[in-house]
Amino acid sequence: MEGERGFVVWLTGLSGAGKTTIANALAERLKSLGYKVEILDGDVVRQHFSKGLGFSKEDRIENIKRVAYVAHLLARNGVSVIVALISPYREGRNYARQLIGDFVEVYVKCPLNVLIERDVKGLYAKALRGEIQNFTGISDPYEPPENPEVVVETDKETVEESVNKIWQALVELGYITEPEWAEVAT
């Protein structure tokens, strides 16, 4: 919506936890109310402007810094930005929070055993066989957020329930306003 305050919803969690699915559902809901929305998805970002970066801690933090900078530019121009990025290190997420300011950290939590069971892309099986080095959660650490604004648990909640939790936080933090018809419907 014209003149709206931009903000960044930063979805962090292990591979396969549901970050992209939640990002897409949240984006659709925001767009349906007229918000300008952009999704910065980790897989897409890696293909386009983080080519050449590996998976060392330094490269992962550099990737987060690049994504944070783009998210910051979009948000300061009134765009609602949804970042779906493993972003395994607190240091990188803290950098993003400080740079962006209007920042809502969402921990997309799912137990490792459930992710290994789901293994939609077959990555966990490869990582467990040693075919993928520096795989977050297997051979590389993931540092869960210490004080995220929202925690969604994708092994216990539907996508809609997770999006509703994020939505409620956005309303409470003053980033979005519920349309009058939504208040009547509840």
Which residues does the annotation mark as catalytic? Answer: 87
Cβ atoms 75, 102 nearer than 8 A: yes
Q: CA-CA distance, 20 to 4, in Å (whole number)?
A: 24
Q: CA-CA distance, 89 to 82, in Å (whole number)?
A: 18
Q: Where are the alpha helices (DSSP H) in the chain?
A: 19-32, 42-48, 57-76, 90-100, 112-118, 123-128, 159-172, 180-185
Cβ atoms 23, 84 nearer than 8 A: yes
Percentages (nearest 5) of helix, strand, coil residues in the chain: 45, 15, 40
